[in-house]
């Protein structure tokens, strides 16, 4: 009987260790994916600002938003093919001359469909980013950094924001 209990105990420890390694390797894959997106920040679409700091914001005050202006400085139309965020607490909308699409969120937390929004040569568009500081509850207090990625037929443009979240 004691031998059976020991066997079960060691089997549970082994399963926990294997599960931990799997979780860590999954996190590593996520980091690699994010790094590859960062490395592909080669879109021909440009932004007037690639980073925004909300400063200190209150979790109790609710959602905050910022509009990033993007432009196609080339002489060829560019097609926005996907828009997604790095966290479930963030949503993004794309507005072009042909209309607004979204909101889009984080891959793996809902569907992030392909889009086909043309940004004509010289045209400006906007990416409206909405951040919910209460989405993570008390664990979300402190400094945060999030990314929004606009994929086009010619690469990806990353837009970053940060904030200091207070209760």
From first to last of its 167 residues, the chain has per-residue pLDDT tens of 667 666 576 656 655 556 554 544 443 333 333 433 443 455 688 899 999 999 999 998 999 999 999 999 999 999 999 999 999 999 999 999 989 998 999 988 766 788 999 999 999 999 999 999 999 988 889 999 999 999 999 899 999 999 999 99
Same domain flag for 112 and 150:
yes
- For the chain, the domain total comes to 2
pLDDT of residue 18: 64
Same domain flag for 32 and 75:
no
Same domain flag for 129 and 48:
yes
User: What is the 8-class DSSP label of residue 106?
Assistant: -
Q: Provide the domain limits for residue 117.
A: 42-166
Same domain flag for 48 and 63:
yes
pLDDT of residue 22: 53
One-character DSSP codes across 118-143: EE-TT-EEEEEEEE-TTTTGGGG-EE
0.75 surpassed by pTM: no
pLDDT of residue 98: 87
Q: Mapping DSSP to helix (H, G, I), strand (E, B) and coil, where does residue 16 land?
A: helix
Same domain flag for 33 and 101:
no
Same domain flag for 33 and 87:
no
pLDDT of residue 30: 39
pLDDT of residue 108: 82
Same domain flag for 104 and 85:
yes
Same domain flag for 72 and 89:
yes
Same domain flag for 50 and 76:
yes
Same domain flag for 18 and 97:
no
**Which CATH number belongs to the domain containing residue 158 in this structure?**
2.60.40.10
Tell me whether the omega of the peptide bond preceding residue 103 falls within 30 degrees of 0, making it cis: yes
């Amino acid at each position: 009987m004691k031998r059976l209990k020991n066997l079960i105990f060691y089997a549970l420890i082994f399963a926990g260790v294997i599960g931990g390694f799997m979780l860590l390797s999954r996190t590593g894959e996520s980091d690699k994916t994010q790094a590859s997106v960062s490395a592909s920040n080669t879109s021909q679409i440009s932004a007037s600002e690639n980073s925004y700091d909300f400063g200190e914001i209150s979790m109790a005050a609710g959602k905050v938003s910022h509009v990033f202006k993007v432009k196609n400085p080339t002489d060829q139309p560019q097609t926005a093919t996907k828009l997604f965020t790095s966290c479930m607490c963030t949503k993004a909308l794309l507005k072009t001359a042909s209309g607004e699409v979204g909101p889009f969120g984080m891959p793996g937390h809902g569907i992030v469909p392909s889009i086909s929004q043309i940004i004509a040569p010289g045209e400006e568009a906007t990416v409206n980013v909405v951040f919910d500081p209460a989405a993570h509850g008390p664990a979300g207090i402190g400094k945060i950094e999030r990314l929004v990625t606009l994929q086009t037929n010619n690469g990806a443009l990353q837009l970053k924001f940060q904030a200091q979240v207070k209760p």
